[in-house]
Structure 1
Amino acid sequence: MAVDRHNSVVVDSAGVAFEDHGHLAEFPWREIRSVHYKAGPNGRTLMVAVIHLDSRVYECVVDAKGRDQLGQWFAVLAPVLGYYKPLA
């Protein structure tokens, strides 16, 4: 889970959920083609994209308190995504 004052990303057994300024979007695994993530241009934001089965793309950006926190989020995301959404 990655959280800032306005946004959050949660990856769990149900799928991926984004909260963006109070608006919730939930994506069950059966509706997800892929999930991508990267650091933002400033090196302090986590950018996560969910690619839906119909090719629509949904994105959420979460601000880390620092590069260390961003590194912690990256360290957790890879194994969690690999566990719940293994590559075909």
Structure 2
Amino acid sequence: MEQRIDSNIWPERAVGKDPAYVPGLMVPPAGTAETDPEQAETEERGPEGGAPSDALPEDVPDEPTASEEDAATDAPSEGDAAKEGPVFEATDRRGAITADSEGVRFRLDDQEADFWWDEIGAVEIKTPRFGRRFTVTVHVSERRWFDAEVEADTRNRLKEWTAELDAVLDAYFEES
């Protein structure tokens, strides 16, 4: 009888069993409209089968008052302050790679994966000698990495994206 010596245990949920499984992508919590059709129907009908839940009461004004507009334009929000530094974004028809003060974000169609700066161990940039594929690989641990690719419209755009991403990495990424 053979026994396995290594402690390499494969996760139960893997691509071989679930083709929709992609490591690093978050699944919506159970009971939300995205995963539960009955919940979606309830949200459309409203709490007691009446008007939809997003319907506004008639006594609520639709437009903000002048004082609310002045307050909104005078005071910068926290999101604006966080976005003051360099921001990188590379997109094509299906995907996007974004890096800002929060971390690196990959998007492919309707799926997103977020990686915060404190969990990232290394970031690799790959540009082919021939072709226009821009690849960014995020290493989160010694044995786990995730990559995303976007296609540039010109070869010069690859050089621009590389320089922009280097500026963001220099500003926010701290090697430990």
1:7 aligns with 2:95: yes
How far is 1:40 from its partner? 3.1
Q: CA deviation at 1:21?
A: 2.3
Select the structure with the greater relative contact order (CA < 8 A; seq sep ≥ 6).
1
Is 1:46 the counterpart of 2:126? The answer is no
Name the SS of the counterpart of 2:166 in structure 1. Answer: helix
What is the aligned partner in structure 2 of residue 82 from structure 1?
Answer: 170
The structure 2 residue matched to 1:19, chosen from 107, 113, 116, is 107
Work out which of the two has the higher radius of gyration on C-alpha atoms and give 1 or 2.
Answer: 2
1:61 equivalenced with 2:149 (yes/no): yes
- CA deviations 1:16-71 (Å, max 9, x no partner) are 00001221000011111011111035331110000003531100000000101111
More strand by share: 1
The aligned residue for residue 73 of structure 1 is 161
Residues 7, 41 of structure 1: CA spacing in aligned structure 2 closer, same or farther, 3 A cutoff? Answer: farther
CA distance in 2, matches of 1:35, 1:75: 14
CA RMSD of aligned residues (A): 1.5
2:121–2:175 Cα contact (<8 Å) kept: no
Match of 1:30 among 118, 123, 126: 118
Percent identical among aligned pairs is: 34
In 2, the alpha carbon distance for the partners of 1:41 and 1:25 equals: 28
Structure 1 unaligned regions, length at least 5: none
5+ residue gaps, structure 2: 1-88
Moved over 2 A (4+): 40-43
CA distance in 1, matches of 2:148, 2:166: 17
